[in-house]
Structure 1
Amino acid sequence: MTAPGSTAASADAPRDADEPDGFDEPDGFDEPRGSRLDRWFARTVNTPAKLRLYNWGLPAFVTLVAIVARLWALGDPHSLIFDETFYVKDAWTLLHKGWEAAWPANIDQAFADGDVNSYTNDPEFVAHPPFGKWMMAVGLAIFGAQNAVGWRISTAVVGILAVVLLMLIAKRMFRSTLIASVAGFIMAIDGNAIVMSRVAILDDSVMFLALLAFGCLLLDRSWHEKRLAAWVAARVEQGRTLGWGPWMWWRPWLLAAGILLGLDAGVKWTGFYFLAFFAVYVVLVDVLARRRAGVSDWPEAGILKGGIVAFVLMVPVAFVVYVGTWAGWLLNPGGYYRNWVQTTPGAHWTGALSWVPDWAQNLWHYQSEMYGYSINLHTPHPYQSNPLTWLLQLRPTSMYYLGTNDGSGGCTSSGGCASAITDLGNPIIWWAGTAAVIYLIYRLIRYRDWRHGMILMGLAAGYLPWMLYTGRTIFTFYSIAFAPYLYLALAAVFALIVGRPTDESYDRVRGLSTLVVFLVIITGVSVFFYPIWTGMQIPFSYWQMHMWLPNFTTGIGTIGWI
């Protein structure tokens, strides 16, 4: 219950974004409302200064948790693990040459020991665009390649910023510091997000740039609706017909989304899937916004004008930015295929395309070769997984494992020790998150809440395209690209469960209690799993305790959830 004259308690209550700000408790109710926590909150946070402290303090605490989880012993192990062998060395040569250079065979141990300049003058064929490796190069430029922290710090910073960004998005959606902090806390302690922030591979950057673009779409939604309403009001005042509505070309947040998605594709091509889903979403939002504003009952009007604006402001911009991410390759002659048409007889395009510059022909050829490599990657791998299992994290990826005997390597356990980095999401978070996604689908069909639709759209953009590649060698850790939307889905469900201080006491207390119990459980599970997410040396018996499922293979070297 809100204290008389106080707005502090209701300011943090999860509420529908379309609900009037002046919503207050109904007159003449008989049942007690709110909880003791709401009444304490109203008494304690009873000034604007205290409310600001709360609104900043709770997210700051969550951010601190994310920082500690991602930076603690970041340099361990001091060896290139999993795909770091590609991306760290590529980032280092990008920093020095502008393109990825080849390395001698079996160089990883020497690289870790400090021999970081043994790269050759020959170019290296790469499977992914360069922008994500340029992001890694920032950390290498600051810390150097001799320090394992330098390999991973850029990815760790991206992971921390993603937690902050998710809280900002959730706050914008649900108007609640509590629910925003819950979303951020779930991401801060989830194993998938922690591991992918501590290993120098590309997927965390894919996730972060797509999430930034998602936030831009969220801002564009309100930007567009406000200006559409102002346009309608002006036309009505002037006595003019509304017709098919305005074109509304100036949409800066949409333009920013296009730029970010171009950069995202410059990390991995999966960024183009986000571009496609997000562009279609903008068209649908425009159609519905025009209908709500009374501009036109014809969806064709919104599809035509909204579709053209979304396409022009997002798609061409994204492709131009994507090409720009290849600037180092374009400006230096030594890159792979950089002089392909000049040195390959009959390679020049002819006919109507003969005017295309050599650099563009070379770049196109490189892209086609990358596509051919990626689409035909069917080499069996012990940790590959079917995307149908990703939501339940049934097949995690073992990125590092080192077994030691008692008395060696600091091991003091009679049964031996293990150090592991296993990309496995907190099982409770992912199992509950899967249930939350299913529930949001139901809520969207029945209640048409735009927030639920937008969350599901983000998840679909990062997840559904992988269903096209079930026969390709792919891994569960790719799920980090859509993980933030799973966390948002959980937060959205808890916003419904927790309710508001004006709810009946029984419902409010039950909702808050459910949230507290859930947070305690997932925190305990994350503490339990944290050692196998971060490579800490633990007794082998303790490592075995993390094999929860009956068909979990326990043999060293074949670890995985089958």
Structure 2
Amino acid sequence: MSKRKAMPSGGSTAVPTTGKRAARPSFEKPRGFFGLSDRATTWILAAVLAVWAGALRLYKLGHVKTLIFDEVYYVRDAYTLLREGHERAWAKDISKAAFERGDIDSYLPDPQYVVHPPVGKWVIALGEWALGADNPWGWRISVAVLGTLGVLLLFFTVRRLLQNTALAFLAGYLLSIDGVHLTHSRTSLLDLILGFFCLLAFYFLLRDRDHFRDALGRNEGTGEGFGHVTGVRWWRIAAGISLGLACGVKWSGIYFLAVFGIMTVLWDWTARKRYGDPRWKLRGFALDAIPAFFAMVGSAFVTYVLSWSGWFASQGGYFRNWAAKNAHASNPVSEALLSLWHYHEEMYSFHVGLDSTHTYAAKPWLWLLQLRPTSFYYESYTYGEAGCEVEKCSAAITNIGNPLIWWFGTFALLVTLIVAIAKRNGTAAAILSGLIAGYLPWFQYLDRTIFQFYSVVFEPWLIMAIVFVFALMLGGHAASRTRKRIALLAIASLVVTMTLMSIFWWPLWTAQVIPYDLWRAHMWFDSWI
């Protein structure tokens, strides 16, 4: 009889012997530190990360009192959503100045044509509702909180994915000190919100994967077979809702819905095969894949449509009465849906046809190496202005990542890709799913105006690749003590260097007034200016 190879926790495609059910794979639970239980250790580390990441994101959050970069669109849209339920237009000559002087009721009665769905702007509106829309804390606090929660979410995600609490903490720490995520957390744009909901969906699918495997294990040997081993897959539905919210921020969330949908079905098939289900393909398709489509796509679609509730409830939204005016419907429901469909057609035409030149436009092959960062804010000062103590000073918010994190992360992605292909490693493949969904689709829009700051959406998976390589360096329980010590020294040296580099870049992430020569010293390449 042939022997079945041992299965790594990340997943394997080895096929069990026919006629004999495969042994249930064991998943080692993370152990606590310093004699503490794993649960206590986890929550202590989570609290430390929350305080640390929150402090970095809230520090002088309202220091820049003007609308930064595309805040000029989203902050104003959020305010009118809060007041009217849909976006309203602003007079071009007073719109930005209105927020800066507190005259925030100066929008026009005309509806505003917008090209992104409303969820991200509703998130921004929550902060404006809580702290007021007439100050930068009000319009930035929601994204700052979500950025902090994103660090915590990555911690819990990596802990479940790699079964290693220390590496999970390290992942959260690296995300917390990186400039791409940090500057997004301190600026009211949409992309960090999109990335948060995508990562949340990934976490929910990990929970669903583990729940499904546990259910298979509980039924093993009971004679109940491999039929319906679980009830309603609530974690999967939660993932669909999260992805519906992601699509409600930006349409690029649909790529995550497609990739994650395929990934979760492959996880189910792998689990059935691993447990020796002789009909794993058929059952995986009938009992897992088809329900997964309705659970994820269905819940995502319903969530997305509901996210337009403010527009549906209004009578003054852009294109809200298009169907009525063009006699395309006979009842209010079909009229509203046809009007929304027409609105989406117009939005799609805008997105695919966007080819205007922009100073900071960047082709996607530049993103991983951070070769064309986006300047969110820049001001020049002379001696005596804003605390400038030299002849010339600068204050900047540059959306550039910690170079060492992104350059090493690019290397880590290559290693992860090799491991996924050569070893058929499920954990490596899961990490790559975020890059497939969040990065690769942009290569089909090379003629479109796109920016490097979109990379914040897939950055959590880049960090996952880094700590996955760290795990490979450590070598697992079978590795020698000498190897572990060398790996720990190398990892510690790398993380310390990354930290020092973040300290160096901190002024350019937070609009600190610094001598111009110091600002210029950060511009290592002409493409960074």
CA distance in 2, matches of 1:454, 1:190: 22
The answer (yes or no) to whether the contact 2:99–2:135 under 8 Å persists in 1 is no
- Alignment match, 1:265: 247
Q: 1:356: Cα distance to partner? A: 6.7
2:330 matches 1:330: no
- Alignment match, 1:72: 59
CA distance in 2, matches of 1:443, 1:500: 15
Matches within 5 A, 1:179-328: 179-235=167-223, 245-246=227-228, 248=230, 250-297=232-279, 299-328=281-310
Provide the aligned C-alpha RMSD in A. Answer: 2.3
**Structure 1-normalised TM-score?**
0.86
2:412 matches 1:436: yes
Question: What SS is found at the alignment partner of 2:296?
Answer: helix
2:337 matches 1:360: yes
| Paired AA for residue 258 in structure 2 | A
- Alignment match, 1:176: 164
Q: 1:286: Cα distance to partner? A: 1.9
Per-residue CA deviation, residues 177-225 of structure 1 (Å, 9 max, x unaligned), is 2101110011000000001101101001100001000001101101112
The answer (yes or no) to whether the contact 1:283–1:302 under 8 Å persists in 2 is yes
Per-residue CA deviation, residues 325-368 of structure 1 (Å, 9 max, x unaligned), is 00000011110000011123xx5169xxx997100001101111
The answer (yes or no) to whether the contact 1:497–1:511 under 8 Å persists in 2 is yes
Matches within 5 A, 1:369-408: 369-408=346-385
Q: 1:87: Cα distance to partner? A: 0.3
Any gaps of 5 or more consecutive residues in structure 1? Answer: 1-14, 24-40, 554-558
The answer (yes or no) to whether the contact 2:398–2:508 under 8 Å persists in 1 is yes
Q: 1:174: Cα distance to partner? A: 2.0
Q: 1:249: Cα distance to partner? A: 5.5
2:475 matches 1:508: no
| Paired AA for residue 57 in structure 1 | I
Counterpart of 2:459 (choices 472, 483, 498) is 483
| Paired AA for residue 178 in structure 1 | A
The answer (yes or no) to whether the contact 2:435–2:458 under 8 Å persists in 1 is yes
The answer (yes or no) to whether the contact 1:339–1:362 under 8 Å persists in 2 is yes
Relative to structure 1, the CA distance from residue 387 to residue 481 in structure 2 (aligned partners, 3 Å threshold; closer, same or farther) is same
Relative to structure 1, the CA distance from residue 355 to residue 299 in structure 2 (aligned partners, 3 Å threshold; closer, same or farther) is farther
| Paired AA for residue 552 in structure 1 | S
Relative to structure 1, the CA distance from residue 264 to residue 477 in structure 2 (aligned partners, 3 Å threshold; closer, same or farther) is same
Counterpart of 1:108 (choices 67, 80, 96) is 96
2:328 matches 1:348: yes
Larger radius of gyration: 1
Relative to structure 1, the CA distance from residue 16 to residue 513 in structure 2 (aligned partners, 3 Å threshold; closer, same or farther) is farther
| Paired AA for residue 272 in structure 1 | I
CA distance in 2, matches of 1:193, 1:389: 17
Structure 1 runs of 4+ aligned residues shifted over 6 Å read: none
CA distance in 2, matches of 1:355, 1:62: 49
Per-residue CA deviation, residues 488-529 of structure 1 (Å, 9 max, x unaligned), is 110111122234576322101101101110111000000101
| Paired AA for residue 128 in structure 2 | L
**Structure 2-normalised TM-score?**
0.91
CA distance in 2, matches of 1:530, 1:67: 15
- Alignment match, 2:508: 532
Report which stretch shifted further, 355-364 or 105-114: 355-364
CA distance in 2, matches of 1:472, 1:249: 45
Relative to structure 1, the CA distance from residue 349 to residue 231 in structure 2 (aligned partners, 3 Å threshold; closer, same or farther) is farther
Relative to structure 1, the CA distance from residue 293 to residue 355 in structure 2 (aligned partners, 3 Å threshold; closer, same or farther) is farther
The answer (yes or no) to whether the contact 1:255–1:314 under 8 Å persists in 2 is yes
2:388 matches 1:411: yes
Q: 1:448: Cα distance to partner? A: 2.4
Per-residue CA deviation, residues 53-111 of structure 1 (Å, 9 max, x unaligned), is 54433343333221121111101210011100000000000000000001111221232
The answer (yes or no) to whether the contact 1:286–1:303 under 8 Å persists in 2 is no
Question: What SS is found at the alignment partner of 2:507?
Answer: helix
